[in-house]
Amino acid sequence: MGAYLRIFALAAAVAAGGLIATNAIVDPYRIFHASAGTLTFQPNSRIYKLEFLSRHCNDYNVYFVGDSRAHILSGPDLEDIGGARFYNLAAPRDEITSIVRRLKFLIDAGCPIAAVIAGESVDVVSDGKDASLLDTESPLISGESRLGFLGKFLFSSQPLIDYWEQTAFGSALHFRYDADGHVEYLWRMKSPADLAAAPCRPPQLSEVEKRLLFLKLPAYRALADLAVQNHFQVIVWITPYNGWKQQVFDDPDVRRFILQLRSIPHLSVVDPARNSPMLSDFTLWTDCAHFRRPIFDDLVAPRILGLLRR
C-alpha cells in the first residue's frame, strides 16, 4: 500500500507542476504579460490595466473609471476635448474605494492626471470580499504578498477553462479589449423576444447593499480631496438605467445617496435625464444592465463636455 500512496503523491505533484507551467505560459487573465493589443477573451482588467499603465501612463491624462457600464467608453465618445488623452481604467464590478486606491498609485508613480470621469452605478455595491480571480485586485494596490498572489493564479485551473471556453469553443459572450482599455461587448438585445425571455427588473437593494452604497460616500470624498491636492477634475455620472429599471431611483435611500453625493465639494455630478425614449429602446441596450454607446453619447457625454475644463 506504500506504493499506492507514492503513486498518488507523484501523480498529484506532476499534475500541480503541469498546471502551474501551463498557467505561466498561457496566462489567460493577462496577469504576467500586460497586453497593449486587442484581446478577444476576458482578462483581469484591474491587473493588466495597472501593469500596462505602470509603463505607459505618460501617454494618458484623462481616465474613465467605473464598472462594466463605464468599460465601453473611449476617447471618441468625448472627441471635442483638445489635449485630452483618454484611458479606460474601468473594470467589471469595480467600486470607488478600489478606484481611489488605484488613482493614488498612479499619482505616486508620477502619472499625469487632468480629469477623472467616474461612472456611478447605484446597484453595484461590494464589500471587496470573495472577489473571483477575474476581479482580483493587483497586489500593487491590495498589498497582498507576491507569493500568495502568484500561487492563487498559478494554481487555479479556472482561468484556463475560461480561456479555453472563450477561444477554442467560440463562446457566445464575446468581448474585444482595445489598447486604450475600453471593451466592446459583441452581443446585444435584438428583438422584443430578448426582453420577454429575460425581463429587466428594477434592482432592489437589500439593507446590507444600502449600507454598502452609503459607504461609497467617504471614498468619493477621498477622491475629491485627491483631486484638489493634485489639481485634477472629477466628474461623476450616474449610469443610465433602462426604462424597465427606473424604479431604482424611486427608492428614498438611493435618492438620499445621490443628494449626498452631489453635496460633496469639488465633485461635479451628472445625473442624466430619466425620461428619454432612448432608455426604453431595447436596441440600444446590450442587455438589461448595459447600455450601448449611443445612450452615453446622447444623454451623458454633452453634459460631461460642458463641465470639462478645456
Partner 1 sequence: MLFNSYAFILGFLPLALAVFFFLGRFNRIWAAAWLALASIAFYGYWSPKYIALLLGSVAFNFLCGRAIAKRAGSAGGRWILTTAVAANLILLGFYKYEDFFASSANEIIKTQLPLLHVALPIGISFFTFTQIAFLADASKGIVKEYRFVHYLLFVSYFPHLIAGPILHHAEMMPQFASAVPYRFSARSFGVGLTVFAIGLAKKVLIADPFGDMVAPIFTAAHAGVPIRLVAAWVGVLAFTCQLYFDFSGYSDMAIGISKLFGIDLPINFASPYKATSVIQFWQRWHMTLSRFLRDYLYFPLGGNRKGKLRRYVNLMTTMALGGLWHGANYTFLIWGSLHGCYLVINHAWRALRPRRERTSFFATLASGTVTFLAVAAAWIFFRAEDISSAFNLLKGITGFNGIAVRETASGFWQGFVRVFPQVTVLPEGAFQHLGFPTSRIALEARFFGAAVLLLAMPNTQQIAQRVERSCASGGASRFYRYAVPGLAGILLVTALSQMQKVSAFLYFQF
- Restricted to residues 10-39, the positions that interact with partner 1 (CB under 8 A) are 10-16, 19
Rounded Cα distance between 10 and 14, Å, is: 6
Closest distance between partner 1 and the C-beta of residue 280, in Å? 18
Question: Near partner 1 by CB under 8 A, which window of 7-15, 63-71, 82-90, 255-263?
Answer: 7-15
Please identify, among the stretches 2-10, 91-99, 212-220, 297-305, the one whose residues bind partner 1 according to the rule CB under 8 A: 2-10
**Min. distance of Cβ 215 from partner 1 in angstroms?**
23
172 part of the interface to partner 1, by CB under 8 A? yes
Q: Nearer to partner 1 by C-beta: 147 or 172?
A: 172
Strand ranges across the sheet with 86-88: 86-88, 62-65, 115-120, 233-238, 268-270
**181-240 binders of partner 1 (CB under 8 A):** 187-191, 193-194, 196-199, 201
**Residue choice 166, 203, 239, 242 for contact with partner 1 (CB under 8 A):** 166
C-beta of 196: minimal distance to partner 1 in Å?
A: 8
- C-alpha cell of residue 247: 424604479
- CA–CA separation, 234 and 212 (whole Å): 22
Closer to partner 1 at the Cβ: 193 or 259?
193
Of 44-52, 77-85, 156-164, 221-229, the window that binds partner 1 (rule: CB under 8 A) is: 156-164
Among 142, 156, 260, 276, binds partner 1 (CB under 8 A): 156
In the complex, the smallest distance separating the C-beta of residue 7 from partner 1, rounded to whole angstroms, is 4
Residues of the shown chain interacting with partner 1 in the complex, contacts defined by CB under 8 A: 1-5, 7-16, 19, 130, 132-133, 152, 155-158, 165-166, 169-173, 187-191, 193-194, 196-199, 201, 287-288
